[in-house]
Amino acid sequence: MEVIDDRSEGGAGSVYMSEAARQNELVFQFKSGGTNLTLDESEERHFGFAVDSREAVDDIAKLAREDDIVFFEPDEYLPGAYLCGVRDPNGNCVEFGYGHKLPPA
């Protein structure tokens, strides 16, 4: 993903991100402020992103461990799907996975 518009200043405001060729299909707005979530490990809701390899999942988990934001460690939670989860600054679970079969877009 890449930043397509940055309307922030000094840590406040909004940043818009999208995949390079999908800016007219899907855009995420990340906005400062708001209420943080407190999700426990049984919570199922999350954002999910596919990555190019199992190694990429492990690399993301390593960075998340350094910041103490691992939601769930890398593992094959579904047959052929290697996944890990991290917490974003507001407490949302963000899943990164390789090999996860996705429904049609």
Token pair, residue 21, equals: 């060729």
Token pair, residue 72, equals: 């769930």
What is the pTM assigned to this prediction? 0.73
The amino acid present at 75, given as its one-letter code, is D
Question: pLDDT tens digit string along 47-64?
Answer: 888 899 999 999 999 999
Q: What is the number of structural domains in the chain? A: 2
The amino acid present at 11, given as its one-letter code, is G
Domain that residue 103 falls in:
36-105
Do residues 73 and 89 both lie within one domain? yes
Q: Cα–Cα distance between 93 and 71 in angstroms, integer?
A: 7
The band of 103, judged by pLDDT with boundaries at 50, 70 and 90, is low
Do residues 25 and 48 both lie within one domain? no
User: DSSP letter at 54?
Assistant: H
Do residues 58 and 94 both lie within one domain? yes
Strands 12-18 and 2-9: antiparallel
Token pair, residue 55, equals: 């190694």
- Residue reference for tokens 């949302």: 92
Spell out the alpha helix ranges (H) of 1-105: 54-66
Question: pLDDT tens digit string along 12-33?
Answer: 889 888 888 887 888 888 887 7
Does 36 have pLDDT greater than 80?
no
Which pLDDT score, from 0 to 100, does residue 42 have? 78
